[in-house]
Amino acid sequence: MQRYNLFYMIHKGLREMLYTTAGQLQKIDFTVSEETEPVFNQVTQVLNLFDKHAHTEDHFVLTAIETYEPSVVNLFEEEHVLDHELSNKLRSLLTMFDGLTLDAEKTELGSAIRLAFTEFLVFNLNHMAKEERVLNQLLWNYYSDEELHGITQQIIAQLPPEQMQEYSTWMMRALSNQEIIGWLKSIKDNAPDFVFNGMLSLAEKELPEDRLQTVLSNITEGALLAS
């Protein structure tokens, strides 16, 4: 029987953020502010959401196994510290970039930002894979799927609405049609109507028309999108 993976959806969304932002950093001309500004804003969003995600894992996931596997918890806490250091390095470079006026300096520092983001990306891809490989197995050893769903609900309950919207947007972009259908059906069955309608609006905004129609045909039985 396939066990519940509480990392699965959020990690898909976070990976999509990393891939998309890395691709944008590859293409921009660092001497053109109209190109750098939106991409640097997205880099900042990535850093903020990864910091918040690590904080959430520390307080809800690692605490769930600390009694049973304290040495493993220490290892992942140390990795979260390193992740924070990589975030701060990128933030410092972005702040330095704001003070530059010469194109040659912008090009040079832009390359440093791109490389620092690559370092951040590689670290986090490996870190998330390790969490899904190591922490999932421990969670499955000590908790039932019902209890793990409970941890997920605790995490969702403490997220500010704007942060939940950011995570949901990237998950919507990253998940397969069947995964989105299952996600929306669960929201429809368990959440207030306004939450479900908000997620339908998000699907309308983020999904290509063919994918949107596939999703809608499986969850709304012809109902109109929320306006």
Q: What's the CATH number where 123 sits?
A: 1.20.120.520
The residue ranking higher by pLDDT, 219 or 146, is 146
Q: Is residue 167 part of a domain?
A: no
Q: What is the largest CA-CA distance in the chain?
A: 60
Distance CA 101, CA 97 (A): 9
What domain count does the chain have?
Answer: 2
Number of Cβ within a 10 Å radius of residue 183: 19
143 and 181 in one domain? no
Q: How confident is residue 222, by pLDDT bands cut at 50, 70 and 90?
A: very low
198 and 87 in one domain? no
Alpha carbon separation from 18 to 29, 62, 83 (Å, rounded): 19, 23, 14
180 and 152 in one domain? no
Distance CA 78, CA 96 (A): 27
Q: Is residue 12 part of a domain?
A: yes
Distance CA 14, CA 11 (A): 5
What is the value of pTM for the model shown?
0.92
111 and 214 in one domain? no
61 and 155 in one domain? yes
Does 225 have pLDDT greater than 50? no
121 and 48 in one domain? yes
- pLDDT 10s digits, 35-63: 999 999 999 999 999 999 999 999 999 99
The residue range of the domain holding 196 is: 175-222
136 and 208 in one domain? no
